[in-house]
């Protein structure tokens, strides 16, 4: 795909895969983004680095 995936498509795919995997929770399109931020935090990165990686405002929590 030349333009990549839009947020709605990513959300739909994530929800469908979670349902197919019979997960006890309902993951959403925000789940991969939040997971990437958590992995970065565990790797020792500070908030500003994590915000830049994920495209969030530098003051985002």
Confidence of residue 1 (pLDDT cuts 50, 70, 90): low
Q: According to the model, what pLDDT value does residue 54 have?
A: 76
The residues near 54 (Cβ < 8 Å, ≥ 6 apart) are 33, 36, 37, 40
pLDDT for the residue 7: 78
Cβ contact 52:58 at 8 Å:
yes
Prediction pTM value: 0.55
Given a contact cutoff of 8 angstroms between Cβ atoms, the answer to whether 30 and 15 are in contact is: no
């Amino acid at each position: 795909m030349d333009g990549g995936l839009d947020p709605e498509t990513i959300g739909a795919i994530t929800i469908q895969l979670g349902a197919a995997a019979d997960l006890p929770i309902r993951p959403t399109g925000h789940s991969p983004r939040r997971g990437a931020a958590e992995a970065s935090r565990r790797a020792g990165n500070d908030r500003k680095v994590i915000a830049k990686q994920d495209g969030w405002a530098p003051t985002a929590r």
